[in-house]
């Protein structure tokens, strides 16, 4: 639905007096091209400093009302942006904004296998200037390059989980990391003790989307998905459902939850698979910001 909407938001910006019309009612008006397709009329309310020599060329925190004829209402209402906007720039700005609140604390991404912890985690770490670590990879490296599937097969799940806990213990002593945890890391309470040194975020992805992603790449590297005969999507869906029944509650221990269904709803998109890692990473930062500003 295309509609005319108005929205207020706070932003820090650099004003250039040459492009700005100063109105007698104490507001400024300028048109800003916010992407290829959308031109916003923006009205800015401000408090003019009375001090002599005040310059327009300075950073301001401004209250902006923004209206557009051709942007879906939900995008502006939610503070989200159309895909044609530069997602990376928005992500970088958001990352800068919350840096002071994060104060170097690590971010632990938790969620079911295939929920995008690694994909989103890498994007997030880049934006924050953090290092990225994947627990599964660290376990594999610690065991001389043995794959997770081989570790499960030769030593069993408990052995794998002990190594997972040890990796989390070591990571918990570090700073400025984004960590992609294994899908099952949430089942051991001790792991939460380590993750609570930082901020944990649950990437909550509908099982259907997980099954689609996992079926697309195959289940060979995933020891907990048994290789039964039958339709690959349906059997993956069934096994994921069983796992989620066992673990669903454990994921709610996370400090914040990022629901792909909620993001899609905000963007008036019906398919969570259309959400890019950058958009998901922006939502991760927004949820962390809400948490830290409480």
Ligand X SMILES: Nc1ncnc2c1ncn2[C@@H]1O[C@H](COP(=O)(O)OP(=O)(O)OP(=O)(O)O)[C@@H](O)[C@H]1O
Ligand Y SMILES: O=C(O)C1=C[C@@H](O)[C@@H](O)[C@H](O)C1
Q: Which stretch binds ligand X (CB under 6 A): 18-26, 41-49, 178-186, 223-231?
A: 178-186
Residue 184 binding result from ligand X, ligand Y, none, given CB thresholds of 5 to 8 Å by partner type: ligand Y
Q: What's the chain's length in residues?
A: 294
Taking contact as CB under 6 A, which single stretch among the options 53-61, 123-131, 229-237, 269-277 is the one that binds ligand X? 269-277
Cβ distance to ligand Y smaller for residue 82 or 183? 183
Residue 224 contacts which entry, ligand X, ligand Y, none (Cβ below 5-8 A, type-dependent): ligand Y
Asked if 277 and 120 touch (Cβ cutoff 8 Å), the reply is yes
Q: How many CB atoms lie within 10 A of CB 122?
A: 16
Decide if 273 contacts 262 (C-beta within 8 A). no
Is 255 within 8 Å of 201 (Cβ atoms)?
yes
Query: Which of 277, 263, 289, 288 shows the shortest CA–CA distance to 87?
Result: 277
> Among residues 280, 281, 282, 288, which is the contact residue for ligand X, using CB under 6 A?
280
List contacts with ligand Y (CB under 6 A): 113, 136, 148, 182-184, 222-224
- Yes or no: say if 180 and 284 are a contact pair by the CB < 8 Å rule: no
**Which residues 101-130 are close enough to bind ligand X by CB under 6 A?**
111, 113-119
Residue 38's binding partner among ligand Y, ligand X, none (Cβ under 5 to 8 angstroms by kind) is: none
Q: Whole-angstrom Cα distance, residue 284 to residue 178? A: 12
223 is in the binding site of which of ligand Y, ligand X, none (Cβ under 5 to 8 A by kind)?
A: ligand Y
| Options 73, 149, 273, 292; binder of ligand X; rule CB under 6 A | 273
Please say which residue, 217 or 234, places its beta carbon nearer to ligand X.
Answer: 217
- What does 22-81 look like in DSSP terms, one character per residue? EPTTSEEEEEEE-SSS-EEEEEEE-----STT--SSSEEEEEEEEEEEEEEHHHHHTT--
Binding partner of 39, given ligand X, ligand Y, none, CB within 5-8 angstroms per partner class: none
CB 139 → ligand Y: shortest distance, Å?
Answer: 8
């Amino acid at each position: 639905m295309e509609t005319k909407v108005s929205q207020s938001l706070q932003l820090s910006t650099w004003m250039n007096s040459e492009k700005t019309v100063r109105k007698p009612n104490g507001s400024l008006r300028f048109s800003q091209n916010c992407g290829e397709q959308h031109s916003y009329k923006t009205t800015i309310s401000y408090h003019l400093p009375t001090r002599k020599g005040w310059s327009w060329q300075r950073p301001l925190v401004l209250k902006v009302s923004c209206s557009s004829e051709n942007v879906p209402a939900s995008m502006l209402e939610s503070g989200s942006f159309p895909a044609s906007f530069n997602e990376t720039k928005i992500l970088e700005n958001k990352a800068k904004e919350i840096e002071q609140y994060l104060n170097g604390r690590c971010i632990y991404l938790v969620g079911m296998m295939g929920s995008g912890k690694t994909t989103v985690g890498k994007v997030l770490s880049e934006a924050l200037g953090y290092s990225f670590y994947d627990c599964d990879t660290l376990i594999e490296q610690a065991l001389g390059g043995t794959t997770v599937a081989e570790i499960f097969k030769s030593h069993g799940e408990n052995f794998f989980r002990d190594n997972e806990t040890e990796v989390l213990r070591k990571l918990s002593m570090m700073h400025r990391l984004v960590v992609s945890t294994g899908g099952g890391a949430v089942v051991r309470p001790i792991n939460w003790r380590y993750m609570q040194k930082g901020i944990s975020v649950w990437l909550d992805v509908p099982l259907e989307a997980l099954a689609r992603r996992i079926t697309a790449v195959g289940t060979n590297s995933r020891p907990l998905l048994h290789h039964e005969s039958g339709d690959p999507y349906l059997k993956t869906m069934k096994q994921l459902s069983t796992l989620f029944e066992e673990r669903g509650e454990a994921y709610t221990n996370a400090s914040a939850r990022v629901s792909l269904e909620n993001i899609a709803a905000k963007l008036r998109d019906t398919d969570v698979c259309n959400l890019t890692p950058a958009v998901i990473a922006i939502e991760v930062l927004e949820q962390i910001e809400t948490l830290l500003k409480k």
